[in-house]
Structure 1
Amino acid sequence: MLRDHERIAREMSDPGLVRLHRKLERLSSVLTVMNTGAHPDDEKNGLLAALRFGLGMRVVVACSTRGEGGQNAIGTERGAALGVVRTGEMVAAAQVLDADVVWLGHGPDDPVHDFGFSKNGDDTLARWGEDRIVERLVRTYREERPDIVIPTFLDVPGQHGHHRAMTRAAEAAVMAAADPDVYPHHFDEGLKPWCVAKLYLPAWSGGGSTYDDEVPPPETTLEVNAGPVDMATGVPFARIGEWSRAAHRTQGMGVWLEAPTQTWPLHLRLGRLSPDGKETDIRDGLRACVGSLASLEGMSAAAADHLVRAQHSIASAQAAFPHREAILKAALHAAEAVENAIGTMPDEMRHVVEHRLRRKLRELDAVILEAHGVHARAWAEPTEVVPGGKVIVSAALMTSDEDAWAKPTAIPALAVSHGSVSRGIHNFDLAVSVDAKLTNPYPACHRALGGNGELALTIGTEIGGRVVHTMVDLEEPLRIVPEPQITIEPRAVIIRLFEIPSSIEAQMLARSASGVPVLAGPEGWHARTAGDHIFIEPPPDVKAGLYAFNGTWNGAAVFRGTSIAYPHIGRTTFFEPETLKILALDLTLPECTTVGYVSGGSDRVGDWLKAMGFDVTELEPLDLQGDLARFSTIVIGTLAFSTRTELAAASEHLRRYVEAGGHLVTLYQKPSEGWNASTTPPRPIEIGSPSVRWRVTNPDAPVNVLSADHPLLAGPNVIGDDDWAGWDKERGIYFASDWDDAYVPLMTVGDTGEKPLSGGLISATIGRGRHTHVALVLHHQLDRLVPGAFRLLANLMQPTSSFLGGAQD
């Protein structure tokens, strides 16, 4: 349930007149445009804002993955948990645009998932399954029935392989969706072939700081221009697009546009141009409004008359803004005319027309209720409930209409047992069946007109003899969550082979009605619980490896619930089976090491250093202005210069720390966000851009060590081939492209067919100290418990004194 200040903020951002104008805008068009992309944040938000708010078109974003393989600039969520965050961000971005979202991938366990950066569309299609992704797009076209499809990216070298794959699939699916012989099993489900009228490719380059399109964009056949500003807010559409993009905070999206564009160039790839070969409007050649459907060949005279009348009433309702009574009268006439048109049209016209008019009726009902002054807010308490539990759902109807009503619309597993009204608030008691399925954290879609989640509210009333109703989503979605739940801390323990402890202790917090938790581990290991403590006794002959202890409760698997809470997406909980992992490895820590760690908020390196046994102090950027001599090594976390802008002021102080004998280690940073090549590092380091040219995406790419006897590679752990094995996702990103002569590259690595990069691990003696810059994705390997990453990190923590007498730069 939202807190008071959260409700106040939502109300402030949703003024009634803007809300009414937005609902009237929808009536302008019967067209649907679909924007296809591979990840949350791939959508072309400014263009979509122009199409939705300027032209009134329905907007659908078709997204193939949840973005679970991407980076996270604001938190430590990785993999499946990051997919939950980015799913929420995509929904938040779509809500700004009043857009629907349809996902083609079902989460990290689905073949169609974000497996990390790819440089090759063929490789992506092979991993996803080309037929699989095309079939899902064909199904989406047949379900959503877009008139226009616009991929965001081009299928050209230098572009992300996922983007290339989606653009290729989007075009293939256009032809397949119209073919009755392709995927005929769809028709058993009630779908029919669908002909997309137009497919546009972007006539802009996808190059920039990340990508590097090697082929120029196709010629512009159309420039979309919906006018200088949005009528409801007076804001340029491109800026509204940035309002939407700002929801993708994990990816650092959202910028202020001082001189925003008013046009978006497109290239008509499939579809017919006018006889002169030119388009002036994206709607050219299409029946764009309700009234234009009247002239369709085969439309009955009676239906055509009703459609013309409906269009006249729609225009009257829009022209009457902001006068609610006049809007209400005209909208009621429009709804009656649309219903009459549906009732009198020939059956052969229904597949092409009826879905447009059915949606228009829903949109008209929303206008009628808004003009009549019926508005609602709905919530559930609690927002998380286990199977067999109970929940109260409430709706506050803000209206003077005493006949207005509300009722729950829920999945079958939720049964309404009682309803009451108190001081204008409608309350309903709901019971959750004991065999209810858990809420899927990766929903299949999001609908702009409401009805999302396990539970929503339908509100309505009778106005002018017409029963009107609309859907209202809960302030926070209701989630059916697992029971029992336990939390084990720490979740992973690092033990060194030469000092195996006799007992390993962890703590357990449990949430369950009854029962005793049990941890089942490998043979020879003994685990027992005593209260909220877990004691694990390893065997005397522990070998290097990863050992897992899975939790059960009365024979059932137990789950860990991790809170996810960000202001831009709200609150949820990510559940996964709880497991305690123990990594045993040959690991030696350097002596006389005290570490100061500055987190960028996007990794857990500081926690892993502590788990390894280092003396670690978490530092705030302002701490770096003080006495740093007590630290032998200072580590600046991943993306910290991007997320902690105050770090820039500490650069000079850090340089003096290095020159005085300290060891500064900087993990990978973005080149354009907080990193100044000349002033941020102790000596100049240029980070490569665009990043597609300065990353190694193959986690198994062969590593060529240039200086095996360098102290950072020679001890206290001798880094060999085994330490580069078993890496996950990729080798590194944001490699250095140029550096001061003081730095020495320690390795090269590259993707197949590309020149190896040498800027992944560089180090320099500076004054009496040292600076080491690391573009390897160590933080991800640590989270994946890759042994070599721990051994390399231990070496990187060496104080400068360890270098005396050893090989030097």
Structure 2
Amino acid sequence: MRNRLFFLCLLSYAPFFGKAQQVELNAAEIRQGLASLNVTGSVLYIAAHPDDENTRLLAYLAKERKVRTGYLSLTRGDGGQNLIGTEQGELLGLIRTQELLAARRMDGASQFFTRANDFGFSKNSVESFKIWNKEQILSDVVWVIRNFQPDVIITRFPEDARAGHGHHAASAILAREAFTAAADPNRFPEQLKKVKVWQAKRILWNTFNFGSTNTTADDQLKIDVGVFNPLLGKGYGEIAAESRSNHKSQGFGSAKQRGSAIEFFSPVGGQAAKTDLFDGVNLDLDRNKGTEKAQQILNRLISDYDASDPSKSINALLQLKEEVRNLPFKHKQLDELILACAGIWIETTVPEQSYAINDSIPVTMSAISRVRKYSPITISLQELNPGHTEELIPDHMLTREFKISARQIGLTQPYWLEKKHPIGSYIIDSLKNLSLPEAIAPVAGVFKVIFGNQSIEVTRPLVYKHTDPVKGELYQPLVVAPPVTATLAEHSFVFTNNAPKTIIVQLKSFEANAKGVLQPVIPSGWKVTPEKVDFELHEKGEELNVEFTVTPAGQVSGGQLSLSVKVDGETYQKGLKVIGYDHIPVQTLFPVAEARVERVDLKFAGKRIGYIAGAGDLIPESLTQIGYQVTRLTENQVINGNLSGYDAIITGVRLYNINDKIGLMQPKLMSYVKEGGVLLVQYNVNAPLKITNLGPYPFQLSRDRVTEEDAKVTFLKPAHPALNFPNQITAKDFDGWIQERGLYFATGIDAHYAPVLQMNDTGEQASNGSLLVTDYGKGKFVYTSLAFFRELPAGVPGAYRLFVNLISK
């Protein structure tokens, strides 16, 4: 079968599926999919963060009950801590977004978000809504409901303090209000140009028994979700563990659970359910009119399915496709099953991972059919736009090469990070993107796979495929970049007194023979030399470090240092950031090329610092910036080495939670202090701890924290050296802090320690546990729960001044 067809322009899109461009279904999964076609209905689970979702329940609903299942996370987890690296804020949210997508690929649910930014721990919903624009985030939840059209909505949390986090409680409140608002044409009517009002049957709360909080009860609706799926060879406790273990940045590797597992549900709104989540909801095909014949075809398909040769099902699947052509149906899933039964593989690859926006990108389309040769189906691949059509001969790879314009694709990066945003939410202008987990991947066009007189349209994302000698075949997303990026080494630069600082800008070319001008823009009162630099980069991928000397003049205030790059008559203001971990696709983004500059009056006492890494922070880089000599100490160096050469030793955040050798290191660290050293221990969570004695004298860790970054700080001991040497600390030094004051404060404090500071959130009891200092032998021990790991990288002047005092003797 040969027809003349054509390529479509590349404004059609498809999602990127991680390391593999196309998911291949085995015979058991195809059988599972056929059964799923027999089920209508949908459920939407709503919570606040990555990891809040009940993965076992999601897997059960998607794969056992076979309903369309979605998880709406209000945020991307930007405000949490990172256990695998140093990324914080938006970069951490980017990692957790990909971890959620990896989890959904395992449990079978879809993933959605609102534009809400995770600004850090919140103690109640009132505080959350002060920072979030409640009405705006509510509209996002309504948008997801109207798009996804769930029959049932489930919340993870209650609306009160039992939720344990203000974001958690807020997610329940928003879910309940959106349940009603989605059905009201007077609420967010602008959405109705794209979607229709939708009334879910009911909304329930998935109650829980976590730690000391048990919200379950015998009179609640109960469902056993721990059943075994013989087609998949796993129970839902096993699938859930695989799904949840993708949350690696949170250290949520999970053990597989087997056997009965009861989930409990409490009604929130709508029609009450007595025996099942879907009471009163028709999940059969006859929910929609005109499906009688489709039901007969599908019944025959399922009964006649031959797992040894799925291609025998193609004729009946095509008959079903024709029958449901104008009916509500799982059309996308049906097409995927037809392609799977036919053994169709199609991919579109590029020879390099990145291209400049002005490039023409070479593309190779590869397609193969591995259907049994005795099959009566003739399969052809039809290219849309005037081009060539050829029959897919079984087991023979068809390849075509062509080019597309990078300009038509535009810069590729996370859509929610394209614009600078306020603390409460990202700026998302287009409803097309709103709620999507990631930017829509660029494609080379739409292809048609022809089965006789029927066809299936197929899109595949453009990806870079390569072979790693250790990891094997890998896929990564295509990157379309500015011609030249200008990247600053730090998010902030701290200038001590009026001393000049050399700032290095890394230029990277994404095209050959790039010529242009790099020009820094500085705040009023600052000086920079040279004022601009001409550059020429001959090779694609070539990098060039350019140095500028920046000097604060007098008592100037801080501000933004920004960069502009002019190439080929166009001006770009983009840096480059690449995030690479084995468990997620490489993430490439082009943040605005700028950094904060701050002048700080600082005095020092000692400059040689030893640093023991914990879960990951940027304290070493921050201290190096202001002139400290920082040595990163290995476990062996601490246990067996001589520590006396260091003026101070600092432990990274959560060291005592994650390092199995801290029990061996601790005696050496205590000896170091006793002999005259300074040891500063940054915050740890209260459980689990590898050892219980974090200092020379007892204290415990609580879950107490102060989340109001502008909370009043009281000096309990104004004359204490920590507040006076070598820098005199005043209340002004606590101005401009970000996200929080501190977390997991100390309690049960031994009398040897001097609590130096007192603080509290509005309406709460004051805590003395944010900063403990004690002499021990000839040295000094400091435990601090203050959020220095956030404040120093952000360039907060007062945080630097206090931290320097704490590591000075």
TM-score band by shorter chain is: 0.7 to 0.9
Alignment of 1:466 onto 2:454: yes
Alignment of 1:526 onto 2:528: yes
Q: Contact 1:416–1:428 at 8 Å: present in 2 too? A: no
2:356 aligns with 386
Q: Contact 1:388–1:433 at 8 Å: present in 2 too? A: yes
Deviation string, structure 1 residues 429-459 (Cα, Å, up to 9, x no partner): 34335475433404647889x9952227756
Alignment of 1:139 onto 2:140: no
Q: Counterpart of 1:616 in 2: which secondary structure?
A: strand
Q: Counterpart of 1:566 in 2: which secondary structure?
A: coil
Alignment of 1:201 onto 2:214: no
Question: How much does 1:732 deviate?
Answer: 0.7
Letter in 2 for 1:514: K
Deviation string, structure 1 residues 448-475 (Cα, Å, up to 9, x no partner): 9x99522277565344653345554454
The within-5 A match list for 1:554-703 is: 554=566, 556-591=571-606, 593-626=607-640, 627-678=642-693, 680-688=694-702, 691=703, 694-703=704-713
Judge which range, 649-658 or 320-329, deviates more: 320-329
Equivalent pairs counted in the alignment come to 737
1:517 aligns with 518
The within-5 A match list for 1:414-493 is: 424-432=397-405, 434=407, 437-442=410-415, 444=433, 452-455=440-443, 461-463=449-451, 465-473=453-461, 474=463, 475-489=475-489, 492-493=492-493
* Rounded Cα–Cα distance in structure 1 between residues aligned with 2:729 and 2:117: 33
Q: Contact 2:141–2:178 at 8 Å: present in 1 too? A: yes
Q: 1:379 to 1:581 in 2, by over 3 A?
A: same
Alignment of 1:244 onto 2:239: no
Q: Contact 1:118–1:161 at 8 Å: present in 2 too? A: yes
Letter in 2 for 1:231: P
* Rounded Cα–Cα distance in structure 2 between residues aligned with 1:649 and 1:748: 33
Q: CA RMSD in A?
A: 3.3
Deviation string, structure 1 residues 541-568 (Cα, Å, up to 9, x no partner): 4215324331112272421111100111
* Rounded Cα–Cα distance in structure 1 between residues aligned with 2:291 and 2:502: 78
1:551 aligns with 563
Pick the aligned partner of 1:29 from 39, 64, 73: 39
2:293 aligns with 306
Q: Counterpart of 1:313 in 2: which secondary structure?
A: helix
* Rounded Cα–Cα distance in structure 1 between residues aligned with 2:109 and 2:447: 21
The within-5 A match list for 1:160-309 is: 160-189=165-194, 191-205=195-209, 207-208=210-211, 216=215, 221-226=220-225, 228-258=227-257, 262-273=261-272, 278-279=274-275, 281-290=276-285, 292-293=286-287, 299=289, 303-309=290-296
Q: Counterpart of 1:141 in 2: which secondary structure?
A: helix
**Amino-acid identity (%):** 25
Question: How much does 1:49 deviate?
Answer: 0.7
* Rounded Cα–Cα distance in structure 1 between residues aligned with 2:303 and 2:436: 27
Q: Which structure is higher in RCO with an 8 Å CA cutoff and minimum separation 6?
A: 2
Q: 1:758 to 1:404 in 2, by over 3 A?
A: farther
* Rounded Cα–Cα distance in structure 2 between residues aligned with 1:57 and 1:426: 37
Q: Contact 2:21–2:347 at 8 Å: present in 1 too? A: no
Judge which range, 566-575 or 759-768, deviates more: 759-768
Pick the aligned partner of 2:331 from 358, 361, 372: 361
Q: 1:765 to 1:220 in 2, by over 3 A?
A: farther
2:60 aligns with 50
1:338 aligns with 324
2:467 aligns with none
* Rounded Cα–Cα distance in structure 1 between residues aligned with 2:460 and 2:239: 24
Question: How much does 1:223 deviate?
Answer: 1.9
1:535 aligns with 548
1:151 aligns with 155
Letter in 2 for 1:256: A
Q: Counterpart of 1:394 in 2: which secondary structure?
A: strand
Q: Counterpart of 1:590 in 2: which secondary structure?
A: coil
Q: 1:419 to 1:392 in 2, by over 3 A?
A: farther
Pick the aligned partner of 1:370 from 333, 340, 345: 340
The within-5 A match list for 1:43-82 is: 43-82=53-92
Deviation string, structure 1 residues 637-658 (Cα, Å, up to 9, x no partner): 1123344434343223223322
Q: Counterpart of 1:657 in 2: which secondary structure?
A: helix
Q: Counterpart of 1:576 in 2: which secondary structure?
A: coil
Q: Contact 1:460–1:467 at 8 Å: present in 2 too? A: yes
Q: Counterpart of 2:529 in 1: which secondary structure?
A: strand
Q: Contact 1:546–1:584 at 8 Å: present in 2 too? A: yes
1:345 aligns with none
1:779 aligns with 789
Alignment of 1:103 onto 2:120: no
1:108 aligns with none
Q: Contact 2:19–2:584 at 8 Å: present in 1 too? A: no
1:768 aligns with 778
Judge which range, 596-605 or 562-571, deviates more: 596-605
Q: Counterpart of 2:790 in 1: which secondary structure?
A: helix
Letter in 2 for 1:228: V
Q: 1:227 to 1:749 in 2, by over 3 A?
A: closer
* Rounded Cα–Cα distance in structure 1 between residues aligned with 2:185 and 2:296: 35
Question: How much does 1:166 deviate?
Answer: 1.7
Q: 1:559 to 1:406 in 2, by over 3 A?
A: farther
* Rounded Cα–Cα distance in structure 1 between residues aligned with 2:193 and 2:489: 50
* Rounded Cα–Cα distance in structure 1 between residues aligned with 2:582 and 2:434: 22
Question: How much does 1:730 deviate?
Answer: 0.5
* Rounded Cα–Cα distance in structure 2 between residues aligned with 1:732 and 1:635: 17
* Rounded Cα–Cα distance in structure 2 between residues aligned with 1:715 and 1:51: 61
1:351 aligns with none
Pick the aligned partner of 1:504 from 499, 502, 505: 502
Q: Contact 2:413–2:439 at 8 Å: present in 1 too? A: no
Question: How much does 1:34 deviate?
Answer: 0.8
* Rounded Cα–Cα distance in structure 2 between residues aligned with 1:186 and 1:70: 32
Deviation string, structure 1 residues 245-304 (Cα, Å, up to 9, x no partner): 222222222321456652211123233347xxx21x3233211132x426xxxx4xxx24
* Rounded Cα–Cα distance in structure 1 between residues aligned with 2:132 and 2:581: 31
Question: How much does 1:663 deviate?
Answer: 1.8
Question: How much does 1:41 deviate?
Answer: 2.1
Give TM-score scaled by structure 2 length: 0.83
Q: Counterpart of 1:536 in 2: which secondary structure?
A: strand
Structure 2 unaligned spans of 5+: 1-16, 417-432, 464-474, 536-544
Q: Counterpart of 2:168 in 1: which secondary structure?
A: helix
Q: 1:714 to 1:754 in 2, by over 3 A?
A: same
Q: Counterpart of 1:631 in 2: which secondary structure?
A: coil
Structure with the larger helix share: 1
* Rounded Cα–Cα distance in structure 2 between residues aligned with 1:103 and 1:407: 36
Alignment of 1:749 onto 2:759: yes
Q: 1:152 to 1:705 in 2, by over 3 A?
A: same
Deviation string, structure 1 residues 218-262 (Cα, Å, up to 9, x no partner): 775322224522334433212312222222222222321456652
* Rounded Cα–Cα distance in structure 2 between residues aligned with 1:147 and 1:481: 42
Structure 1 unaligned spans of 5+: 1-6, 106-111, 343-353, 410-414, 803-809
* Rounded Cα–Cα distance in structure 2 between residues aligned with 1:416 and 1:239: 49
* Rounded Cα–Cα distance in structure 1 between residues aligned with 2:528 and 2:111: 49
Q: 1:226 to 1:778 in 2, by over 3 A?
A: closer
Question: How much does 1:95 deviate?
Answer: 1.6
Alignment of 1:397 onto 2:391: no
Q: Contact 2:486–2:574 at 8 Å: present in 1 too? A: yes
